[in-house]
């Protein structure tokens, strides 16, 4: 199922709906369930038929090809109908975050100049006060609205037509339709969160969906037709759109949708009822799952694994809450269950499991395969490696704290925006200006990752004390690490070690002895500046690093990874020189 870069970059007549919807029906999956929500299900045949009708309806309402169609919908089976119907008609779908405020909706709808808005009735009512401020919007289609709901939306402009979703589907033609589009034409926009300014509309072309589905969904995650997937991230996120739409539809799999906000109780209900084989979530949800009273030794065994084939899968938490241990016995079982692998430190846990365990944990911020099989259906261990013989015992256990284990101290000074976009007193300008404060120590969520990375690199069982500080800077992160210094080691020796370790790395700049890092020098670049100092008086080695967290810490790192995945030079499109001085 793999594809080369040229297959996606070559310009050709193409509409994404042909691959993701119509192709599944053509190969005999018309009766198979494509989407399930708490109240309804939608087969691939129904998805095709309803998206055809919706495409005709959009055209009948005067929505012209390439005009933007905004989607303000909960994750129900109506969402894929509206999304693929718009793309089928040649329109540009614009998924909207359902958790924004009225001002943010006003900005995005004006910025996108959407001609039509497809909205769930409760969400439409919430944003109705701004409807007169949107001159480009001339059509609103209400999902889940009753006939008597329409008069409840007062003050409608004369130019605005309002329709019920079910009505226009019932009245539309069912004649086959696929707009004449080209592979490099825009299919949909996704707006950024706006954490560093106004939200930006990111344009995605028709071929993008299959490119990510094949390169990651099939090539890395190993998704296949028999999978049942559930994504805690919603369809309006790029993450959720890939997880729950592009990846499963690319192979004819089934997606379980959950309209409300994701909660541990909701996740457990879906696990018990639908038994998904792939689960996607973010670290905060894994943390909440681990804190739930239902999580304990043996949690989840009853969900997927038949008793006669059941191993023991457990999550244990230390009393201090800082470490987790995943312990698996009798690893000859064919299946595993997600609950046993839902660890906030999932990436670290996966790295520590021996290569001959049959469990396969595949992380895409983080995605968990729950059936222990790799791409193409082959039983696999971490990273898709072949599994070893039955009966192998694999364990990731708590690090020892006694016996003179090496210790490290890391102090980090991130800029205030690093804390996220949520409004809070801590990160407000009035509170943070002219202030430096530590936060989330000694139990910061990234501490186990650091310890695991150091242990893997050195073979030592290391304890890390991580003390991050918020500093009143717009951008940038400076990290200072303190380590025990061996006798006779000089600053030049430490510097030479860093140079040798990062030799040939285009984005690591090791400063000569005596040099001092400066986050401002990295601004606008994908570079990490490093310096090392030996202090024999206190017996301490100090290593300091600086990055621009808006480039190296996020977007630049993503481009760097994409370059490596696509076989491009690692530095393609990435700045090495900062914008200052």
**Band of pLDDT at residue 474, cut at 50, 70 and 90:** confident
Please choose, from the candidates 263, 313, 266, the residue with its C-alpha nearest in 3D space to the C-alpha of residue 287. 263
Token pair, residue 306, equals: 């038949």
- What does the pLDDT read at residue 505? 86
Q: Rounded distance, CA 83 to CA 61, Å?
A: 17
The better pLDDT of the pair 183, 556 is held by 183
- Write out the two tokens for 403: 């016996």
Give the pLDDT mean for 417-425: 52
pLDDT at position 207 over 80: yes
Q: Can you read off the two tokens belonging to residue 13? A: 């007549």
Percent of the chain, pLDDT > 70? Answer: 73
Q: What is the pLDDT of residues 75-96, one digit of tens each?
A: 999 999 999 999 999 999 999 9
CA gap 440, 414 in Å, rounded: 13
Tell whether the model's pLDDT for residue 226 goes beyond 80.
yes
pLDDT at site 432? 62
Query: What totals of helices (H) and strands (E) does the chain contain, helices first?
Result: 18, 23
State phi, psi for 393 to the nearest 5 degrees. Answer: -105, 125
- Which pair of structure tokens corresponds to residue 17? 């709906």
Q: Who contacts 514 (Cβ-Cβ below 8 Å, separation ≥6)?
A: 491
CA distance 295 to 337: 13
The 10 Å Cβ neighbour count of residue 31 is 10
Query: Would you state the pLDDT for residue 557?
Result: 81
Cβ pair 361, 315 in contact under 8 A: no
Backbone phi and psi for residue 433, each to the nearest 5 degrees, phi listed first: -65, 135
Query: What confidence category does residue 414 fall into, taking pLDDT thresholds of 50, 70 and 90?
Result: low
Across the strands, what pairs with 280? 231, 367
Contact by Cβ (8 Å): 70, 236: no
Residue 185 contacts residue 178 (beta carbons within 8 Å): no
Cα 184 to its chain centre, rounded Å, is 24
The structure tokens 């407000």 sit at: 428
Question: Which residue, 556, 410, 576, is CA-closest to 506?
Answer: 576
Write out the two tokens for 548: 């621009």
pLDDT of 314: 28
DSSP conformational letter for 14: -
Inform me whether the pLDDT recorded for 175 exceeds 70.
yes
Give pLDDT tens digits for 103-141. Answer: 899 999 999 999 999 999 999 988 888 888 898 999 999
Residue 143 has pLDDT above 90, yes or no: yes
E-assigned strand segments in 335-492: 367-369, 394-396, 407-414, 437-438, 463-470, 477-484
Distance CA 566, CA 5 (A): 7
- Binned at pLDDT 50, 70 and 90, residue 467 comes out as confident
Q: Which residue has the tokens 């480039």?
A: 551
**What is the C-alpha to C-alpha distance for residues 7 and 566, in angstroms, rounded to an integer?**
12
The set of residues, in sequence order, having a beta carbon less than 8 Å from that of 564 and lying 6+ positions away, is: 570
Q: Mean pLDDT, the chain, as a whole number? A: 77
**DSSP assigned state of 375:** G
Domains of the chain (ranges, CATH numbers): 43-207 (3.40.50.980), 262-396 (no CATH), 407-565 (3.30.360.10)
Q: Is the pLDDT of residue 37 over 70?
A: yes
* pLDDT tens digits, 300-328: 544 443 433 333 222 323 223 323 323 33
| Per-residue model confidence as pLDDT tens digits over 343-392 | 222 333 333 332 222 222 232 334 444 444 443 333 333 333 222 222 22
* Phi, psi (degrees; rounded to nearest 5) at 78: -75, -25
At residue 296, the pLDDT reads 59
pLDDT-derived band at 428 (thresholds 50, 70, 90) equals low
- pLDDT for the residue 334: 26
**pTM of the entire structure?**
0.62
Residue 431 pLDDT: 65
Confidence at 329, pLDDT banded by 50, 70, 90: very low
* Tokens, residue 276: 């998904």
d(CA 342, CA 112): 38
CA dihedral sign, ordered 65, 66, 71, 77: positive
């Amino acid at each position: 199922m793999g594809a080369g870069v040229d297959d996606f970059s070559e310009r050709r007549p193409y509409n994404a709906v042909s691959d993701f919807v119509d192709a599944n029906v053509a190969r005999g999956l018309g009766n198979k369930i494509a989407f399930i929500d708490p109240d309804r299900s939608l087969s691939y045949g129904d998805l095709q038929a309803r998206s055809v009708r919706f495409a005709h309806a959009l055209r009948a309402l005067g929505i012209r090809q390439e005009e933007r169609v905004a989607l303000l919908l909960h994750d129900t089976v109506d969402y894929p109908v509206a999304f693929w119907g718009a793309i089928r008609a040649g329109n540009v779908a614009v998924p909207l975050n359902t958790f924004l405020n009225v001002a943010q909706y006003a900005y995005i709808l004006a910025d996108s100049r959407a001609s039509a808005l497809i909205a769930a009735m409760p969400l439409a009512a919430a944003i109705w006060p701004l409807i007169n401020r949107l001159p480009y919007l001339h059509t609103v289609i209400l999902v889940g609205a009753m006939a008597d709901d329409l008069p409840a939306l007062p003050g409608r402009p004369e130019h605005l037509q309002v329709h019920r979703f079910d009505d226009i589907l019932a009245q539309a033609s069912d004649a086959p339709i696929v707009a004449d589009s080209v592979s490099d034409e825009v299919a949909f926009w996704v707006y950024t969160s706006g954490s560093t300014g106004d939200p930006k509309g990111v344009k995605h072309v028709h071929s993008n969906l299959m490119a990510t589905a094949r390169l990651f969904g099939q090539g890395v995650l190993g998704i296949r037709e028999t999978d049942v997937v559930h994504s805690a991230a919603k369809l309006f996120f790029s993450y959720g759109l890939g997880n729950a739409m592009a990846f499963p539809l690319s192979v004819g799999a089934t997606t379980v949708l959950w309209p409300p906000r994701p909660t541990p109780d909701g996740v457990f209900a879906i696990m018990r009822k639908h038994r998904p084989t792939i689960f996607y979530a973010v670290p905060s949800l894994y943390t909440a799952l681990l804190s739930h009273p239902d999580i304990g030794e043996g949690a989840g065994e009853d969900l997927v694994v038949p008793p006669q084939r059941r191993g023991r899968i457990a999550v244990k938490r230390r009393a201090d809450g800082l470490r987790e241990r995943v312990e698996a016995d009798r690893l000859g079982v064919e299946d595993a269950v997600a609950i046993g692998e839902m660890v906030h430190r999932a990436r670290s846990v996966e790295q520590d499991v021996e290569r001959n365990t049959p469990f396969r944990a595949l992380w895409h911020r983080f995605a968990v395969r729950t059936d222990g099989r790799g791409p193409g259906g082959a039983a696999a261990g971490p990273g898709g490696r072949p599994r070893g013989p039955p009966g192998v015992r694999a364990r990731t256990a708590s690090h020892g704290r006694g016996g003179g284990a090496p210790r490290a101290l890391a102090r980090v000074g991130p800029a205030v925006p690093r804390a996220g976009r949520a409004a809070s007193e801590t990160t407000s300008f009035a509170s943070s200006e002219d202030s430096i404060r530590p936060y989330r120590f000694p139990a910061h969520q990234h501490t186990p990752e650091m310890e695991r990375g150091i242990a893997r690199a050195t073979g030592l069982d290391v304890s890390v004390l991580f003390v991050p500080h918020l500093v009143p800077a717009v951008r940038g992160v400076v990290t200072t690490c303190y380590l025990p210094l061996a006798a006779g080691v000089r600053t030049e020796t430490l510097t030479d070690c860093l140079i040798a370790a990062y030799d040939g790395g285009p984005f690591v700049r090791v400063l000569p002895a005596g040099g001092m890092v400066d986050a401002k020098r990295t601004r606008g670049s994908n570079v990490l500046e490093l310096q090392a100092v030996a202090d024999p008086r206190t017996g301490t080695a100090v290593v300091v690093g600086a990055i621009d967290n808006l480039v190296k810490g996020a977007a630049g790192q993503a481009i760097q990874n994409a370059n490596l995945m696509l076989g491009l030079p690692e530095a393609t499109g990435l700045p090495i020189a900062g914008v200052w001085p």
